[in-house]
Amino acid sequence: MLDLILRNAALPDGRRGIDIGVRDGRIVAVEPTLKAEAGRSIDARGNLVTPPFVDSHFHLDATLSVGLPRRNRSGTLLEGIQLWGELKPLLTQEAIAKRALDYCDWAIGRGLLAIRSHVDICDPRLLAVDALLQVKKQVAPFIDLQLVAFPQDGVYRSPGAMELLKEALKRGVDVVGGIPHFERTMEEGRASVIALCEIAAAQGLMVDMHCDETDDPMSRHVETLAAETIRLGLQGRVAGSHLTSMHSMDNYYVSKLIPLMAEADLGVIANPFANIVLQGRHDTYPKRRGMTRVPELMAAGLTVAFGHDSVMDPWYGLGSGDMLDVAHMAVHVGQMTGLDAMASCFQAVTANAARLMQLDGYGLAPGCRADMVLLDAADPVEAIRLRAARLKVIRAGEVIAETPAPRTALTAGGSPRQLSYRKEPG
Ligand code: FE2
């Protein structure tokens, strides 16, 4: 006797008519025509069932703070950082936790059940660290929250930041962060990458740095990050977030850099919303897009994921926690409109992001955790096209959120009918 069976599901790998059996919070069977009884049965009606969405780059300490203490007038990255600096002294632990928990509710509704959030440690009170450690515990039944110790103002540039970062790790923050391009000089940026990777190696931790988030083709901290990863034996445990300078780099240099990154098994996290609105701001025309070289990095075998980065905060006033929105933007910014390329953008907000975060038991195979999302779409490309409704969000075999399929009642022409915007087969 099983706890739950999802019948007649389509899977992201293209299999159709699949039944998924669940017992004790785990998937126990994935096969056509599963012969078993279950306490609850859900008919997927041929719709797509995916493992949950995963956001590998977010800022939960800043989310939903838009307008506090004022709006970002220029819309630039630097005014965003300045604005966040104005807000920091006014923050309270309770207010940070409240906004983060509100966002986590949105995330659950969107089937986003794993988030890697950076947490700013450049605050002697470490308020955001304590707030998000508390949030992590509170949301654990529903969301896998991984925290990155992020020195927003520079680990060398901001007095005391290195000690604060170490203290944040001591309190339970999971991953070592960094921001080498924001240090005062290229030399200090390079030194910060080396020092932070050494901390991670000594403590057995993962690394995820905001790295080269600039249009400067000479900002090349990603090279140091890859080289340090290899030197310290951290392969598969280090990610570079943003890497937007790669958009502007010399092609010959990149032909040497990408194999080095592949040798380091470096994770790559692009943030298409942030990149398309924040990069190229000093350009007149043509204006660069700024997103890193996603198709080329994927072709070289690197694990590439997409993050939302910001939702309604000093850097980005829009968003609602929808990783299909993120994938949709990436398809366009990266000109990834080929069929396989679109499908790979779905992977970048699900399986690739889970791999980067080293999520345990993620996937749709027997033995995996029974965390799943049933979408109002036939396949990953349709899911991206429609930013499809999450009909059911399932955590450990329990339905934790439901959204009805949106349908338009059309009365034009006198014969009432329903529109789903889904193309009939054939
Ligand atoms: Fe970020």
HSE toward the beta carbon, residue 284, CA cutoff 13 A: 0
User: Which residue(s) pair with 409 in the sheet?
Assistant: 418
The per-residue pLDDT for 78 is 85
User: Does the pLDDT value for residue 178 go beyond 80?
Assistant: yes
The proportion of the chain whose per-residue pLDDT surpasses 90, expressed as a percent, equals 95
User: Does the pLDDT value for residue 89 go beyond 90?
Assistant: no
Which tens digit of pLDDT belongs to each residue from 7-62? 999 999 999 999 999 999 999 999 999 999 999 999 999 999 999 999 999 999 99
* For the chain, domain boundaries: 2-51+363-409, 53-357
Q: With the C-alpha atoms ordered 212, 269, 299, 331, is the resulting torsion angle positive or negative?
A: negative
206: amino acid identity, one letter:
M
Q: Place 307 in a pLDDT band, splitting at 50, 70 and 90.
A: very high
Q: How far is the CA of 59 from the centre of ligand 1 (A)?
A: 6
The answer to whether the CB of 319 falls within 8 A of the CB of 311 is yes
Q: CA 423, CA 169: separation in Å to the nearest integer?
A: 50
Q: How far is the CA of 409 from the centre of ligand 1 (A)?
A: 41
Q: How far is the CA of 401 from the centre of ligand 1 (A)?
A: 28
Measured in whole angstroms, how far is the alpha carbon of residue 287 from the centre of its chain?
Answer: 26
For all residues of the chain together, what is the average pLDDT? 97
Q: Alpha helices, DSSP H only, in 144-185? A: 161-171
The pLDDT of 353-369, averaged and rounded, is 98
* Secondary structure (3-state) at 306: strand
Q: How far is the CA of 274 from the centre of ligand 1 (A)?
A: 8
User: Does the pLDDT value for residue 107 go beyond 90?
Assistant: yes
User: Does the pLDDT value for residue 202 go beyond 90?
Assistant: yes
Which tens digit of pLDDT belongs to each residue from 210-228? 999 999 999 999 999 999 9
Q: CA 23, CA 20: separation in Å to the nearest integer?
A: 10
User: Does the pLDDT value for residue 424 go beyond 80?
Assistant: no
Measured in whole angstroms, how far is the alpha carbon of residue 145 from the centre of its chain?
Answer: 11
Which residues are known to be catalytic?
A: 213
Which tens digit of pLDDT belongs to each residue from 363-380? 999 999 999 999 999 999
Q: How far is the CA of 210 from the centre of ligand 1 (A)?
A: 6
CATH no. of 2-51+363-409: 2.30.40.10
The pLDDT of 402-421, averaged and rounded, is 94
User: Does the pLDDT value for residue 323 go beyond 80?
Assistant: yes
The per-residue pLDDT for 193 is 98
Q: Place 425 in a pLDDT band, splitting at 50, 70 and 90.
A: low
Backbone angle region of 400, left / alpha / beta, with phi > 0 → left and psi within -120 to 50 → alpha? alpha
DSSP state of 359: -
DSSP state of 141: T
The per-residue pLDDT for 420 is 94
Q: How far is the CA of 364 from the centre of ligand 1 (A)?
A: 29
Q: How far is the CA of 309 from the centre of ligand 1 (A)?
A: 5
Q: How far is the CA of 150 from the centre of ligand 1 (A)?
A: 9
User: Does the pLDDT value for residue 260 go beyond 90?
Assistant: yes
Q: Place 423 in a pLDDT band, splitting at 50, 70 and 90.
A: confident
The per-residue pLDDT for 426 is 58
Q: How far is the CA of 65 from the centre of ligand 1 (A)?
A: 15
User: Does the pLDDT value for residue 357 go beyond 90?
Assistant: yes
In the structure, ligand 1 is a single-atom ion and the residues with CB under 5 Å from it are 309
Architecture of domain 53-357: Alpha-Beta Barrel (3.20)
Residue 302 has which token pair?
A: 């690197």
The pLDDT of 68-96, averaged and rounded, is 90
Q: Maximum Cα–Cα distance for the chain, whole Å?
A: 72
User: Does the pLDDT value for residue 108 go beyond 90?
Assistant: yes
